[in-house]
Amino acid sequence: MDVLLSVNNREQFFTLPVLPKEFKIQSGMKNETVDTISQGEIKLIGMKNLRSITLQSFFPNHDYSFLRDGECKGQYKAWDYVNMIEEWKNRRVPIRMIISDMPDHLGNMACSIENFEYGQQDGTGDIYYTLTLSEFKFIQLEQKEV
Amino acid sequence: MHQLLNIKDNLQIDITPLVGSISWRSNINELGQQLTFDIAFNDDRYFPMNPVDLGSLIILNNQDEILRAIVVSEQRNGRGRIEYSCFDYAFYLNKSKAVYQFNKVTGKKAIETILNDFNVPIGNIVSIPTVINKIYREQAVSEIIKDILDIAKKATGMKYRMEMRQGKLYIEKQEDLMIKGTFQLASNIQPYDITNALSSPSRKRSIEEMKNSVQVVFNNHVIEDKRKEELIQQYGLLQEVTSIDKNDKAKARNLADKILKDLGKVFEENSVEIMGDDQVRAGRTMKIKEPITGMIGKYLINDVNHTVKNGIHKMQLGLGVI
């Protein structure tokens, strides 16, 4: 499995050099409960929430044997990854996340960066991070002449 | 699914994907319905341009058309959502003033004259035989129409209901439209009667407006006197007097009966929250069965506020007795 992050049709991209040890995708519904007088609570099914995912891992400062940076190998240092994500935030555009082992319609999604937390925590110079992404929906308005 | 269409310069754009919540309301005392909605706005580069502008025509659909309205106000707050408020074509009747002099024309003819002057398409107007002799000065057009219906009601006891449907004005007798609303919990579950899932019912009963005795006066003589003895026994005598002119003298008994039927009752002001049904509109009637507060029977919808948010359609109803 690999996780690939890219921006603007792969203008810039990288695979996560160290995979998170786990990830979970949040995929909820916005349902409502109404209190009726004759039947108590009833459930009203609302619409889908946007899906979201939190990736937690580190950007390596050394050439570890377990790195998975594939075609980007040796191209980026630890702070380069942080820089890239910071720049993407400045651009205010959605990014794309592809998780290679998942079915395409689930694992390939346009995302917005919701939060990015990073820092060093031991003497290795590795940068530990938590990146929270949320699904981004493209909107197309249908129009016709009348 | 509810759908909002924006029509401007012969271009129809489905704005539903941008719309957060939709609400529309009607009130029995107001001609016309109000529609409000908010639209998502962002200045990021993938976000569609907002096509809505003042004066745009907005159509609310749910398979069939529910209402069409003109955007009359816009509220923007920073990068936040933009709120729009719209009124149906009755807006022009509410906001325009006019001078009219009616000389021995029937109510129907008088109303048709006004509507034609203001280019409001007429769907159907029932016969309003009451003769109108009145001068209106600088009054809102909708007030003039309402006054004509009021005169007709006073003379014949008949109540009328005004509605805009598909951009056309309908004036019909009030008892003509009984609705039976339904809702679906999911697309593969059969529809339920909306009155099965009432919430927050409240019921106010009062005899403040009750009249249990009606006298019709012609030339300072009481020519007709109708009473509801049972109500007088129970609540005491509450009397109404109405005068009549020569033309309507023959109808005095009929008039007294109708007024007594209209006012000789315990009045109720009720409200409920209920699942939404598009047919529900002020002026229509529906059956309610709610034993806890005791609302049982046919009720007149005085006002209704629909909201659609997050795919869920609910409404708040104000109900009165018929």
Q: Tell me: the pLDDT tens digits for B90-137?
A: 888 888 999 999 998 999 999 999 999 988 889 999 999 888 899 998
pLDDT at B243: 87
Inter-chain touch A34–B186, beta carbons under 8 Å: no
Calpha distance A7→A93 (Å, rounded): 8
Q: Are A146 and B12 in contact (CB under 8 A)?
A: yes
Which chain A residue's Cα is nearest to B183? Answer: A44
Kind of pairing between the strands at B131-140 and B160-165: unpaired
The DSSP bridge partners found for residue A97 are A5, A109
Residue (of B297, B292, B302, B314) closest to B203 by Cα position: B292
Q: Are A14 and A5 in contact (CB under 8 A)?
A: yes
In angstroms, what separates the C-alpha of B44 from chain A's closest C-alpha?
6
pLDDT at B39: 93
Q: Are B128 and B101 in contact (CB under 8 A)?
A: no
**B222-233 residue pLDDT tens:** 888 999 999 999
User: Comparing A68-82, A103-117, B230-244, which segment has the lowest mean pLDDT?
Assistant: A68-82
Q: Does A72 or A51 have the greater pLDDT score?
A: A51
B-facing residues of A in 91-110 (CB < 8 A) are 92-94
Which two tokens mark B143? 């007030």
**B188-209 residue pLDDT tens:** 889 888 888 889 999 999 999 9
- Quote the percentage of chain A above a pLDDT of 90: 66
- Quote the percentage of chain B above a pLDDT of 90: 52
Average pLDDT, chain A: 91
Inter-chain touch B44–A93, beta carbons under 8 Å: yes
The DSSP bridge partners found for residue B6 are B13, B58
Inter-chain touch B199–A45, beta carbons under 8 Å: no
* pLDDT category of residue B176 using cuts at 50, 70 and 90: low
The reply to whether ipTM tops 0.85 is no
Which of A30, A36, A96 is the best substitution to test chain B (most B C-beta atoms within 10 A)?
A36
* Contacts of B213 by beta carbon, 8 Å cutoff, 6+ apart: B225, B226, B227, B228, B232, B237, B238, B239, B240, B260
In angstroms, what separates the C-alpha of A14 from chain B's closest C-alpha?
23
pLDDT at B311: 87
Calpha distance B302→B287 (Å, rounded): 14
Residue (of B292, B286, B279) closest to B26 by Cα position: B279
Q: Are B280 and B322 in contact (CB under 8 A)?
A: no
- A9–chain B Cβ distance below 8 A for any pair: no
pLDDT at B178: 85
**B45-63 residue pLDDT tens:** 888 889 999 999 999 999 8
Question: Is the sign of the CA dihedral B88, B89, B95, B99 positive or negative?
Answer: negative
Q: Are B201 and B271 in contact (CB under 8 A)?
A: yes
Calpha distance A37→B211 (Å, rounded): 33
- B14–chain A Cβ distance below 8 A for any pair: yes
Inter-chain touch B17–A145, beta carbons under 8 Å: no
Which chain A residue's Cα is nearest to B18? Answer: A139
- B8–chain A Cβ distance below 8 A for any pair: no
A-facing residues of B in 224-263 (CB < 8 A) are none
Torsions phi, psi of B214, nearest 5?
A: -125, 130
A-facing residues of B in 197-226 (CB < 8 A) are 197-201
* pLDDT category of residue B262 using cuts at 50, 70 and 90: confident
* pLDDT category of residue B241 using cuts at 50, 70 and 90: very high
Find the Cα–Cα–Cα–Cα dihedral B162, B29, B301, A47, rounded to 10°.
90
Q: Answer yes or no: is pLDDT of A70 > 80.
A: no
Which chain A residue's Cα is nearest to B15? Answer: A141
By CB atoms closer than 10 A (0-12, 13-18, 19+), residue B214 is buried
pLDDT at B245: 80
Q: Answer yes or no: is pLDDT of B32 > 90.
A: no
How long is chain B?
Answer: 322
